[in-house]
A = this chain, B = another copy of it.
Amino acid sequence: MSEKLDLNEIRQEITLLDQDLLALFAKRRALTLNVAKSKVQQIRPIRDQQREQELLIRLIKHGKTLGLDAHYVTSVFQTIIEDSVLNQQAYLQSLANPDIQVPTVSVAFLGDKGSYSFLASHRYFSRRAEKIIESGCQSFYDILQQVESGQVDYGMLPIENTSSGSINEVYDLLQHTNLSIVGEITQPIEHCLLTSVNTSLDKIKTIYAHGQPFAQCSNFLDKQSNIRIEYCDSTADAMAKVAELQDDTIAVIGSEEGGQLYQLHALEQSIANQTENHSRFILVARKAVDVAEQIPAKTAIILSTGQKAGALVECLLVLKDKGINMCKLESRPIQGRPWEEMFYIDVEANLKSFALQEAINEISPHTNFIKVLGCYPIEHISPTSVPSSEF
């Protein structure tokens, strides 16, 4: 390595090197798509975590000879493997559902450009479509209406948040819709205090915020004295307003990524009570999808058991006996039927699998209502870990 220390020259070299990296990433992606194609022929599962671990251990060893530390190598290759797995899944899904392969999709979501739902929609379709027609909505009900009426192809709905819990309104709406859940995505939520002009925290007199981010940032807001809170219907509205006002005493709570669409910048980052905050979104469509056998799948079921004592336990025992893992159980009251509950159950199983088909048949007699809301690929790719003795 030459010892020339001209910053511009070194940066030029890094730029060229980064282009080589991108070319290799693209080539690697094409190769792993060929791996997926070979797995179609042999019906082998997409992931082989033991092979992934061996791969990581080899890369760590080789990296050490080049002066790279094990944690860096692990972290960067976990990202590369995640991309590879998600792409292979998307490819197999497009084979299993040839009619969902379209270059342009239309999506309804809550809020406007820059909302968390907007960001989740873009991220979900980034590897699935070339163009997204956006439809920002004022309510969850509007989103479902637009999909049901055929105005848009998909609806993106937040279903739970790691800090504020399940979003009951969406659960309740799912009871009364004929739409199917066809996908999921988890979006990190990072609330920042955004301003349109250069200012400092002690100058801020008014903060615009939507109710949910307001609640999630209560500790930070409690510490600010003499600040007035203006409630807004949506974060995007609030951001647009603050962008327009160009006032150094006014700020808004929102994501940095979303705020950049309004030329806002972050005065304070990570102001939420819980620094780790994620929302899980579901994607709904008029037509259910098939999930390819090689892909881990989740199935969402709703059922009610009337007032039969112990009926829910019977249902859960059936799942347990079939070796089916339940990853979520929520209950919600049924409107107009006091003391009755609707149960929302997510299981890690493919609807097409013999085990789940059998389970649903055996569960049915214990219920007075049962419906499958949808079966879709699990989007979360848990990273393969490496024994710490390799570090």
Contact = CB atoms under 8 A, between A and B. Distances in A.
Interface of A: 1, 3-7, 10-11, 13-15, 17-32, 34-35, 37-39, 41-42, 55, 58-59, 62-63, 66-73, 75-77, 79-80, 83, 114, 118-119, 122-123, 126-127, 162, 200, 202, 256-258, 260-261, 269, 274-278, 320, 323, 382, 385-389, 391
Contacts of A38: 5-7, 10
A67 B29 contact: yes
A22 B66 contact: yes
Most buried by B among A6, A29, A38, A274: A38
Contacts of A55: 15, 18
A22 to B, nearest CB: 5
B274 A162 contact: yes
A42 B6 CA distance: 11
Copies of this chain, tallied across the complex? 2
17 contacts: A3-B34, A7-B42, A10-B34, A17-B28, A20-B24, A22-B59, A22-B62, A26-B63, A26-B67, A70-B126, A71-B126, A79-B79, A118-B388, A200-B323, A202-B320, A257-B388, A260-B386
Given A10-B31, A24-B17, A123-B391, A83 B72 contact: yes
A202 B269 CA distance: 44
Contacts of A274: 162, 276
Nearest to A35: B10
Given A24-B17, A68-B29, A69-B126, A387 B257 contact: yes
B59 A18 contact: yes
B67 A389 contact: no
A136 to B, nearest CB: 13
Contact of A122 (B39, B63, B127, B388): B388
A79 B38 CA distance: 31
A256 B49 CA distance: 13
Contacts of A29: 67-68
Contacts of A257: 385-388
Contact of A127 (B3, B31, B69, B83): B69
Nearest to A122: B391
A63 B26 CA distance: 8
A62 B26 CA distance: 11
Nearest to A386: B257
A114 B391 CA distance: 12
Nearest to A67: B26
Contact of A26 (B23, B66, B80, B278): B66
Contact of A28 (B14, B62, B258, B275): B14
A389 B63 contact: no
Contacts of A122: 388, 391
Contacts of A202: 320
B26 A24 contact: no
Given A62-B22, A80-B76, A126-B69, A388 B34 contact: no
B69 A162 contact: no
Contacts of A83: 72, 76
Contact of A389 (B27, B59, B127, B260): B260
Given A22-B68, A162-B275, A257-B385, 19 more contacts: A4-B34, A7-B42, A11-B35, A17-B28, A17-B31, A18-B55, A21-B24, A22-B63, A22-B73, A25-B63, A26-B67, A69-B126, A72-B83, A123-B391, A162-B274, A257-B387, A260-B387, A261-B389, A269-B382
